[in-house]
Chain A
Amino acid sequence: EVQLVQSGAEVKRPGESLRISCKGSGYSFTNYWISWVRQMPGKGLEWMGRIDPSDSYTSYSPSFQGHVTISADKSISTAYLQWSSLVASDTAMYYCARRGGTDYFYFDDWGQGTLVTVSS
């Protein structure tokens, strides 16, 4: 069974750094991109960026480029989303999602979400 298990909820202050994780299991981690998706409170889904775990090649939405960093450690089948300096507007639920496979352009499995709260 494919599973994406995300790290737990976080409460941070503005200006702090943070890294959240997404661990894949039940499949070959390096064969499937992982994307990160933001959902602000009461709002819709926003695609942030993705990583190819086989070579750590990344691409980002222009809306998020430069504000977050996506990385992966294929030795432990885990992808990460990282901020160096959080702001209040980073408060949101963050989902990781697995691409359907090579030559497929959809997300067939999702993590349970990580709630990030940034407040002074």
Chain B
Amino acid sequence: EPEVTQTPSHQVTQMGQEVILRCVPISNHLYFYWYRQILGQKVEFLVSFYNNEISEKSEIFDDQFSVERPDGSNFTLKIRSTKLEDSAMYFCASSVESPNTGELFFGEGSRLTVL
């Protein structure tokens, strides 16, 4: 069964360092998303991406964050200068259609620890 894959599964970084989280969405999906979850709490929307541009972003997704689809298969989230409060589980998701039409498929997450 096709699945969303995320790397790394866990990354530890020093405050102020740049981090890139990588995702390979399901191959025929057109919509891509990043969410984060702090310590098993609420799953917070960061950004949605369609047709090579950001469709929507939340107030969390400030200038420190960026997303890119560098080729036909990867979807990345970059955090330019990490803060302690960026420590969280980051989930990538993808969908065939728009989010109000069908299911979002989530990866297993990348745990980011900022020291």
- A, B in one complex: no
